[in-house]
Amino acid sequence: MVQHFIVIGNPIAHSKSPAIHQAFAKQVGLDIAYARQFCPDDADSFRAVVDAFFHGGGVGANVTVPFKQVAYAMCAENGELSLHAQGAGAVNTLTLRNVKLYGDNTDRQGLVNHLQQLGWQLDGKKVAIIGAGGASRGVLLPLAEAGVAEMTIANRTVSKADELAQAIQPVLPATASMSSCGIDQLTGQFDLIINATSIGLTGEALPLSEALSTAHAYDMMYGRALPFLQHFAEQGASVSDGFGMLVGQASLSFESWTGNAVDTTHAMHDLQSSLYIITFLYFLSIKS
Ligand code: ATR
């Protein structure tokens, strides 16, 4: 029997989640349907979409920008939350358990696993995270647990960066220090700077200081030219978009929904080859 899955977001047309989950399903021999689900940007619409999907027999839903915190609130009110979701204050994976909505967060392991795959050291390092929404909040603790020594949260709305830094401070390991500031106040040399804002969706550039530099830059977005990565690549930093993180977090969602573990390196190789073919065909089509 075909099992049905969706990813809910706004915007959502760019999402590669369907291709990733189909690659996993092929790897383990499962028959699945995985669709992109657009939702108007308000909590009531999100709740209606989630209810309709699970009432209609859906097995699992991924949640992306800007709904991760609404999904968290929905599970906190009427369902259950995994420890990872509680730590993140955000949900990216929904399913039904004992007829109740169950929210998990797989973003946290996705990022750290991918940074380790890239060979970027975290232990004892100085890291800046730009953004103070659900995506940022979800990765602070795993970064600290991976040994990051100094963390700075920078955000357009400085008060949100201050609040997040204060909220996360009590659960941080004693070895990690935390500070917060505005994006244009972020200066100095870092080992790693992570863009956890949603600005990549618009193609706009962040107001980065001239006095800011880094050895590595990571954008949690993927699938389009990212001015953030371009900026640091021009300075000589090594850069990566968030595709590997997406594959990592998707594999954890897939595993919890279907009980099947997948080989992400193998799946990434297949997916990147097919993305190159799609891009090549697109260029051929606009040239003809
Ligand atoms: P997510 O769950 O993906 O983190 P979110 O909770 O809506 O999404 O958070 C979006 C983040 O991107 C916020 O940190 C937001 O900054 P503000 O708190 O000031 O709103 C940041 N962001 C979005 N658009 C931005 C822009 N044009 N410039 C700078 N930061 C932006």
What ligand 1 atom has the least distance to the C-alpha of 196?
A: 4
Query: Residue 144 belongs to a domain with what CATH number?
Result: 3.40.50.720
* Domain extent for 158: 108-240
Q: Are residues 84 and 161 in the same domain?
A: no
Q: Are residues 134 and 232 in the same domain?
A: yes
Q: Are residues 117 and 228 in the same domain?
A: yes
Q: Are residues 8 and 83 in the same domain?
A: yes
Confidence of residue 284 (pLDDT cuts 50, 70, 90): very low
Q: Are residues 137 and 229 in the same domain?
A: yes
| H-helix or E-strand spanning residue 150 | strand 150-155
Active site residue 16: no
What ligand 1 atom has the least distance to the C-alpha of 198?
A: 12
Residue nearest to atom 25 of ligand 1 (CA): 199
Query: Residue 67 belongs to a domain with what CATH number?
Result: 3.40.50.10860
Q: Are residues 32 and 48 in the same domain?
A: yes
- Whether 159 lines ligand 1, by a CB cut-off of 6 Å, is no
**End residue of a domain, out of 240, 255, 273:** 240
Is there a contact between 270 and 23 (Cβ–Cβ < 8 Å)? yes
For residue 285, pLDDT beyond 50? no
Residue nearest to atom 18 of ligand 1 (CA): 157
Q: Are residues 172 and 266 in the same domain?
A: no
User: What dihedral angle (degrees, nearest 10) is formed by the CA atoms of 54, 86, 107, 10?
Assistant: 50
- Whether 133 lines ligand 1, by a CB cut-off of 6 Å, is yes
Site to probe by mutation for ligand 1, drawn from 46, 156, 164 as the one with most ligand atoms within 8 Å of Cβ, is 156
Q: Are residues 57 and 39 in the same domain?
A: yes
Q: What is the DSSP string of 203-258?
A: T------TTEEEEEEEES--SS--HHHHHHHHTT-EEE-SHHHHHHHHHHHHHHHH
Q: Is the peptide bond before 207 cis (omega within 30 degrees of 0)?
A: no
Cα gap 39→245, rounded to integer Å: 23
Pick from 88, 130, 109, 107: nearest CA to 218: 130
Sheet with 3-9, side-by-side order of all strands: 32-38, 3-9, 60-63, 93-97, 100-104, 80-81
Q: Are residues 64 and 134 in the same domain?
A: no
Give the tokens for residue 65.
Answer: 């920008």
- Whether 132 lines ligand 1, by a CB cut-off of 6 Å, is yes
Query: What digits encode the pLDDT tens for the residues 77-98?
Result: 999 999 888 878 889 999 999 9
Confidence of residue 266 (pLDDT cuts 50, 70, 90): confident
Q: Are strands 150-155 and 177-182 parallel, antiparallel or unpaired?
A: parallel
Total structural domains in the chain?
2
- Dist. CA 197 → ligand 1 center (Å): 5
What residues contact residue 286 under an 8 Å CB cut-off, 6+ apart?
none
**End residue of a domain, out of 206, 222, 240:** 240
Question: What letter would DSSP give residue 88?
Answer: H
Q: Are residues 27 and 47 in the same domain?
A: yes
Q: Are residues 224 and 120 in the same domain?
A: yes
Predicted pLDDT at 222: 83
- Whether 204 lines ligand 1, by a CB cut-off of 6 Å, is yes
Q: Are residues 219 and 254 in the same domain?
A: no
Query: What digits encode the pLDDT tens for the residues 168-187?
Result: 888 888 889 999 999 999 99
Q: What is the average pLDDT value for the chain, to the nearest integer?
A: 91
Distance in angstroms between the alpha carbons of the first and the last residue of the chain: 42
